[in-house]
Amino acid sequence: MHLTLLESPDWKDYELIDSGDGLKLERFGPYRFVRPEAQAIWKRALPEPTWRAVDAVFQPTGEESGGHWAFTNPSATQKPLQEKWAMAYAPIKFWAMTTPGRHLGVFPELAAHWDWYAGLISQANRPIKVLNLFGYTGLASLIAAHAGATVTHLDASKKSVAWAHENQLLSGLQNKPIRWIVDDALKFVEREARRGAFYDGIILDPPKFGRGPKGEIWEVYPSLPNLLTACRSILSPSPLFLALTMYAVRASGVHLHQTITEMMQPYHGQTDAGELVMREKSAGRLLSHAVYARWQPA
């Protein structure tokens, strides 16, 4: 088994400027932010004035992922931070904004997966149906649709799905075949199985903890095995890909590799696994954001 570090080097609207002392300094479009990053256990490479010249700092509370943004005015010549602003990656555009959960509407490290999906879909030479579970603001869905897939996008948050639909309009992809669904992931997949629906590609970016629209409880370790079993029942006879990414959990690429390899055993293919990383502009250090495993035909 070989584990891989996947980078996303093609960003123009995002930059990991520096990290260290439990923090990371980033640029999203024209704005700079400081967010907590527990894994940045080294010292910062850039001086303190650079770290102070930012538009907002996320200040966590004792709750996991809880906290608030402290907004600053780094210079009189810089535009004040907008409520939302447009960003782009390759063929898609999307809205970014600060949220109470410290995120800004995009996980930049996932671009390594987006490029992979797009390549497989565009080279498939057949109709491809993709299911994006836990789809958040829809960037993977838009990438897949732009590449030629028919996409079903699902998230338990009505607000996130509305945000994703706004990103579709901003990208000029309103004529692409995307279904936007607010539902519990497991319940939806089980219904799709009963209906005899099949998908050629499945994207899974589950949270550590969450709630469905009707209060359904999601806890990644007890819930994920059942979801993966259900997903296997809706795979087409000739699946194109399956990707699983996990954040903020005590898991490893080894465990995900074994899980996905066993899940996809009936099919002739290969699994790769490892970590999604971003490289600092300051010192070139790699910061790991998530572990992943993904499968494709041999």
pLDDT for 150 equals 98
Give the pLDDT mean for 21-30: 97
- Of residues 209 and 240, more confidently modeled: 240
Query: Where in the chain is CATH 2.60.40.1180?
Result: 10-82
Q: List, by residue range, all CATH 3.40.50.150 domains of the chain.
A: 88-96+102-297
Q: In the predicted model, what is the mean pLDDT of the chain?
A: 93
Q: Which residue has the higher pLDDT, 277 or 216?
A: 277
Instruction: Tell me the pLDDT tens digit for each residue of 42-55.
Output: 999 999 999 999 99
pLDDT in the model for residue 211: 75
CATH for 10-82 is 2.60.40.1180
Helix H or strand E encompassing 48: helix 48-52
pLDDT average, residue stretch 81-93: 94
Query: Which pLDDT score, from 0 to 100, does residue 51 have?
Result: 97
Residues 144-177 have pLDDT tens digits of: 999 999 999 999 999 999 999 999 999 999 999 9
Can you give the pLDDT at residue 77? 46
Residue corresponding to tokens 């907002």 = 56
Whether residue 117 is predicted with pLDDT greater than 60 in this model: the reply is yes
pLDDT band at 75 (very low <50, low <70, confident <90, very high): low
Average pLDDT estimate for 195-223: 85
Q: Is 90 exceeded by the pLDDT of residue 80?
A: no
CATH fold label, 88-96+102-297: Rossmann fold (3.40.50)
pLDDT tens for each residue of 237-246: 999 999 999 9
Strands (E), the chain: 3-6, 14-20, 23-28, 31-36, 56-60, 67-71, 85-89, 92-96, 129-133, 150-155, 178-182, 201-204, 209-211, 217-219, 241-246, 269-279, 286-297
Among residues 266, 275, 269, 273, the alpha carbon closest in space to that of 241 is found at 269
Each residue's pLDDT tens digit, 252-272: 899 999 999 999 999 999 999
